[in-house]
Chains A and B, each alone.
Chain A
Amino acid sequence: GAVVSQHPSWVICKSGTSVKIECRSLDFQATTMFWYRQFPKQSLMLMATSNEGSKATYEQGVEKDKFLINHASLTLSTLTVTSAHPEDSSFYICSALAYEQYFGPGTRLTVT
């Protein structure tokens, strides 16, 4: 079946640094990928929609300069958290759209 991977699964970074998270569709191509954020014991909140070859569409309240999204190929989208701060610590989940959304396993980001 359709598999989506994320790398890394867990990352710790210092405040002020940037971190990149990769989302790959392993056995299918996805024109559209999504990035979600999940706070502890809460639901998933859509951050942005990533379309291959074009600029991402961000949800209201999401800082596009802070959360940079690049969808350079049909199997890879990246989320870069720039100048990370402790409040950016969260669980980030991506999904790839192919008739339905297939979700990656998530990346836990801890900013110290």
Chain B
Amino acid sequence: AQSVTQLDSHVSVSEGTPVLLRCNYSSSYSPSLFWYVQHPNKGLQLLLKYTSAATLVKGINGFEAEFKKSETSFHLTKPSAHMSDAAEYFCVVTDTGTASKLTFGTGTRLQVTL
């Protein structure tokens, strides 16, 4: 069985400061991991994905995540937050080897203040 735990339901940062959104996963096999972003009343957009290649994954809009097998973590980071980053972020896992059976975390709402 696969699951993800997003450790923070809400994160607030000031514009220009670093962002850290934490995610731990559980998977019976070699997982694929994703981060999606959802802006209000919008669909989900893929930020980045890990599929057993490089452990440090770079995504869109300056986001990156590091796969740490020993810690079963896949935390999302960004060096400098922008107001437009305010949204809901979902950590997602699949152990099927494809993107067909996704398990979503409960989400982290990122607030960016001036």
A residues adjacent to B (C-beta < 8 A) = 4, 6, 9, 32, 41-46, 49, 93, 95, 97, 99-101, 103-106, 108
Contact B104 A103 (CB under 8 A): no
Contact B43 A105 (CB under 8 A): yes
Q: How far is the CA of A108 from the CA of B49 in the complex (A)?
A: 28
Looking at the assembled complex, report how far the CB atom of A9 sits from the nearest CB atom of chain B, in whole angstroms: 8
Contact A106 B104 (CB under 8 A): no
Besides A101-B99, A104-B43, 8 more A-B contacts (Cβ < 8 Å) are A42-B106, A43-B104, A44-B90, A45-B104, A46-B101, A93-B44, A99-B99, A105-B42
The total of interchain contacts (Cβ-Cβ below 8 angstroms) comes to: 44
For residue B46, CB closer than 8 A to chain A, the reply is yes
Would you list the 3 A-B pairs with minimal beta carbon distance, nearest first?
Answer: A105-B43, A103-B44, A103-B43
From known contacts A32-B100, A100-B99, infer whether A42 and B107 are also in contact, taking CB-CB under 8 Å: yes
Looking at the assembled complex, report how far the CB atom of B32 sits from the nearest CB atom of chain A, in whole angstroms: 10
Q: Please give, as numbers and ranges, the residues of chain A lying within 8 Å of B101 by CB-CB distance.
A: 46
B residues adjacent to A (C-beta < 8 A) = 36, 41-46, 49, 90, 99-102, 104-107, 109
Q: How far is the CA of A64 from the CA of B57 in the complex (A)?
A: 39
From known contacts A93-B44, A103-B44, infer whether A43 and B102 are also in contact, taking CB-CB under 8 Å: no
Give the secondary structure class of B's interface. loop
**Selected A-B contacts with CB under 8 Å, 20 pairs:** A4-B43, A6-B43, A9-B41, A32-B100, A43-B107, A44-B90, A44-B104, A46-B101, A93-B43, A95-B44, A97-B100, A99-B99, A100-B46, A100-B99, A101-B100, A103-B36, A103-B43, A105-B42, A106-B41, A108-B41
Looking at the assembled complex, report how far the CB atom of B92 sits from the nearest CB atom of chain A, in whole angstroms: 9
Q: How far is the CA of A6 from the CA of B41 in the complex (A)?
A: 12
Q: How far is the CA of A97 from the CA of B94 in the complex (A)?
A: 14
